[in-house]
Structure 1
């Protein structure tokens, strides 16, 4: 094979280590890979796998300790400036200037990339058409929604057409509608301009769209090839488990950890199982004595292969799967006769003339997992902050745990836990210092304080990193620490604002095992998420858009609502949650456009 003609990037025996405090961390270990020209290659792996390090090496921003990185026929270390002139790199936190407009950001990056002035009008017009940002060129970048910021970041990266485009998790924190739009843009550049793309992602359905996949774990290559190469070996080992009288969370909890069960996740109206080669394949053997349960074979998918490969490399029991510690104490007496612990009535929040939330009403019951879904900028985080007493409502009624939040926010905060969208603990403090601080802030003292810190350290497996600065932790550990701190005072209600954004699939599974255990212990959970498969774990959902509730009900009811609009023929397959979400958002958008509503 002529590597010059067919290979855009080649790594040969590449190793890279970093020093963190007193520890030496191996980010990449003797890695050899190829990225083919003119194709989209997915870069997949759990937190700390080495994906971002590989991206930075390819962009000429880091030098390998050993081995070589060749990009477009150039040595990425020796010819780094020439490489950077031919490569577009969009890191996880792309550097938009929030106090500059969309147009000013484009101009700045055109200057930085040396795009001739006479080439700019046509290029800008094409980028604005592709991203849908043409009506917003005068808007400040800081005033854009999350999805629009990502599209602007991609446009700035593509101001000068790159031969190789490096995208480091470009869709993290982006709603499903914007995620699809970003993929359309990337696909166009590959097909129309022949751009080569190396894209890392936490969404395994996106990896399945790539022509090739590179899978890393702990800095090592564990697989490379087309997505079907990872799924085909599981043919005959993937199933849907259905129950007519149990909810899927209970069914998942019963089957998780059973002999031969490698993975069990909720998927639509069933629990999806991946079994080992020698596992039993009948309900009677998997769940002895259980009635009204059926097992149906289904084709394997890329995610099944990814999880199986990681499980086989590690201890078969995922951290947290078989926890023997007690969950937080349940609270037996509901504050209301009907068990309602959160009541929202006609709530509004204005910022000047702009309504972030307008006329929202819903109830949440004790022990319920209630999901708030919506496009970026829908008002979910604003709603959360009002419920937590962190932001006053402009109008309406908010009752949390029997407390009027608008009058006595401090009393409500004492009974709730809050895990914010962004890591909000003290990054310069150690893990232990954060646990000590938050236990004190919640008023814990003496033996109870020591017991709760011991509980958090054990339950969330934080002992190996107790002395590490929390800001230097991998994302999965940051998530564990943030949740541990939020649960330190045993709250009866926990608010989780996009808690799994950017977290790898293994860590997401661990997280939801913990959340399911909390709900089983009668703790009420409110959660926002952009992972539509996580919405299936919720008892009920509210889908928001532009500060209003579009749809409210169980996952099944919301899918049926959207399905009846889009596919009225009952013989047609039911929509997935992502399809239902996109349909509801796009339908409402079209209605607003037709009516002239802003």
Structure 2
């Protein structure tokens, strides 16, 4: 029997209650998939219930059933006292549902989107003026009611989506990964809105999240795996498994944190390892029993115990359940290129890079250099100019002025020649959804000009390396979000590029998948691949050799992770994170203004 902190008490007064819930999908040409398998779970009013789990755990399926978008195969689900199979229509107007891809109409203004959803939800005109004013004030959208939704930043779009869900005051709010692809400042704003609703109106909120620091902000957390409930309770309940097993390991002098991480991640006595403030946060398999764990010479210069966080417990529990692949790292065979030797040369040089859209300068005078085998990060709030810069570097958008040299080619004058040396993974999934996994790889391999034998060998490599063998015949559009990201990266690496551009590569991926992504990326860099990446997961920036933080299309700061963290160091915060530095910079000097929205 499952041991939880709360059991299943409170079903009768819950805003959502699942009892023995099952959902089976039967894709054409593939084995049936049990997305939910006998799930029993409840969420209470006036509380935030977080649903977490790895890719394919059933989180989104659960949210869609609760919103009345799917009918379960077996079992029962009640929402606000109504059975979703027979009475969802009676309470649909009391449910606010925000899916991962909320249906904003980008050609309509903020005000027109609000009007559209008010019409759908039957809100009388007499009630709209006051409701709109309250929502615009709460979300900070007051100055932008006449702006087209398509010209808002990612964070502002999420806030508008939330406002549209709240046009008619709900009794329950269902949010499916509301902060994916949103910068830390906007994430903070969204959480302030959620807690205002809970504390003031007493509504029940059920949300899924890929950011496990957000799970710590929930009143109650349910951990799903393969459609089943593994554990549930308040966040502190989960820490019991990992107490006295979490340590910070300081890398040896001269060793990159990501190389120390690769060495530690492959050890049999290590459950989890990730970079934190230049050190390796390590979860060992067994408690230390009063003695510090022994570490190999040349990897670490120090080790100290540290208090667990939710992500430590999450990864520990899932690894113990067999989720994810425990691999032997470092993975020197990730690419077939020879390991990086000698002094790396500059392969990307940018000087005075500027992009104008009419009178508006989206990027203004950006400059940096990236050497062979380095990982370089572009960070910034939504609307800062990152994606515009990224697209110019890839040759997808012409620069207005400045210099861009990629792999020895002037990108402004020889873009086609330079592109043959590049791999590109877009922020939004851009592969063919109706084609199978294998067909997508074959199509892109042929587009890259790979011969039959080479293409077959590289497809076999990709299916194995990215754990896609069992999904090779599934349509790409049916994959969970994290597996779509794997497929997109596999396609980008098929032709063994010299330079890999990754735009939010782990957006929507669970923590286990993110770890595998970054260990792969580190392996690519060790083999000599140059990586340029954008990310909103600030802890991922620790994998970078250098980075810049942008706002208003300009550079706010540039340097190594150590140099960036030092920006936020103070007597009150002697050991800051990159997120601390990011917030200090962008909150005080670079919070995006309306002109920047939609251009970053």
Q: Which residue of 2 aligns with 1:273?
A: 282
1:383/1:320 CA distance change after superposition, 3 Å: farther
2:451 alignment partner, one of 445, 450, 461: 445
2:106 alignment partner, one of 91, 98, 105: 98
Task: Give the secondary structure class of the aligned counterpart of 1:468.
Answer: coil
Could you tell me whether the CA contact under 8 Å between 2:551 and 2:592 is conserved in 1? no
Could you tell me whether the CA contact under 8 Å between 2:344 and 2:372 is conserved in 1? no
Could you tell me whether the CA contact under 8 Å between 2:501 and 2:532 is conserved in 1? yes
- After superposition, give the CA deviation of every residue in 1:460-516 in whole Å (9 maximum; x if it has no partner): 232212222222222222222211111111111100000100111111011011000
Answering whether residue 428 of structure 2 is matched by residue 422 of structure 1, we say yes
Could you tell me whether the CA contact under 8 Å between 2:107 and 2:148 is conserved in 1? yes
Q: Which residue of 2 aligns with 1:596?
A: none
**Which range is displaced more, 433-442 or 412-421?**
433-442
Could you tell me whether the CA contact under 8 Å between 2:423 and 2:499 is conserved in 1? yes
- After superposition, give the CA deviation of every residue in 1:403-461 in whole Å (9 maximum; x if it has no partner): 00000001110111111101111222222222222222112114333322222222223
Q: Which runs of 5+ in 2 are unaligned?
A: 1-7, 595-600
2:550 alignment partner, one of 530, 544, 551: 544
Q: Which residue of 1 aligns with 2:537?
A: 531
**Which range is displaced more, 458-467 or 403-412?**
458-467
- After superposition, give the CA deviation of every residue in 1:308-363 in whole Å (9 maximum; x if it has no partner): 111011168436757574523148699xx971110001011112222221111111
Answering whether residue 490 of structure 2 is matched by residue 490 of structure 1, we say no
CA apart distance, 1:3: 4.5
Distance 1:549 1:289 in 2: 39
Aligned residues: 585
1:2/1:498 CA distance change after superposition, 3 Å: closer
Answering whether residue 421 of structure 2 is matched by residue 412 of structure 1, we say no
Could you tell me whether the CA contact under 8 Å between 1:8 and 1:72 is conserved in 2? yes
1:539/1:342 CA distance change after superposition, 3 Å: same
Distance 1:430 1:60 in 2: 29
Distance 1:332 1:572 in 2: 37
1:168/1:272 CA distance change after superposition, 3 Å: same
1:573-584 maps to which residues of 2 (within 5 A)? 573-584=574-585
Q: Which residue of 1 aligns with 2:589?
A: 588
Task: Give the secondary structure class of the aligned counterpart of 1:20.
Answer: coil
1:250 alignment partner, one of 259, 267, 277: 259
Report which structure shows greater RCO (CA 8 Å, sep ≥6).
Answer: 2
Answering whether residue 36 of structure 2 is matched by residue 28 of structure 1, we say yes
Distance 1:406 1:333 in 2: 30
CA apart distance, 1:98: 1.1
TM-score (ref. length: structure 2): 0.93
- After superposition, give the CA deviation of every residue in 1:363-414 in whole Å (9 maximum; x if it has no partner): 1111110000011121111111111111111111000011000000011101
1:515/1:281 CA distance change after superposition, 3 Å: farther
Task: Give the secondary structure class of the aligned counterpart of 2:26.
Answer: strand
Could you tell me whether the CA contact under 8 Å between 2:340 and 2:527 is conserved in 1? no
1:14 alignment partner, one of 21, 26, 29: 21
Could you tell me whether the CA contact under 8 Å between 1:356 and 1:379 is conserved in 2? yes
Could you tell me whether the CA contact under 8 Å between 1:102 and 1:138 is conserved in 2? yes
Distance 2:33 2:452 in 1: 37
Task: Give the secondary structure class of the aligned counterpart of 1:277.
Answer: coil
Answering whether residue 194 of structure 2 is matched by residue 186 of structure 1, we say yes
Could you tell me whether the CA contact under 8 Å between 2:17 and 2:40 is conserved in 1? yes
Q: Which runs of 5+ in 1 are unaligned?
A: 594-598
**Which range is displaced more, 56-65 or 582-591?**
582-591
Could you tell me whether the CA contact under 8 Å between 1:364 and 1:370 is conserved in 2? yes
TM-score (ref. length: structure 1): 0.94
Could you tell me whether the CA contact under 8 Å between 1:320 and 1:459 is conserved in 2? no
Could you tell me whether the CA contact under 8 Å between 1:543 and 1:551 is conserved in 2? yes
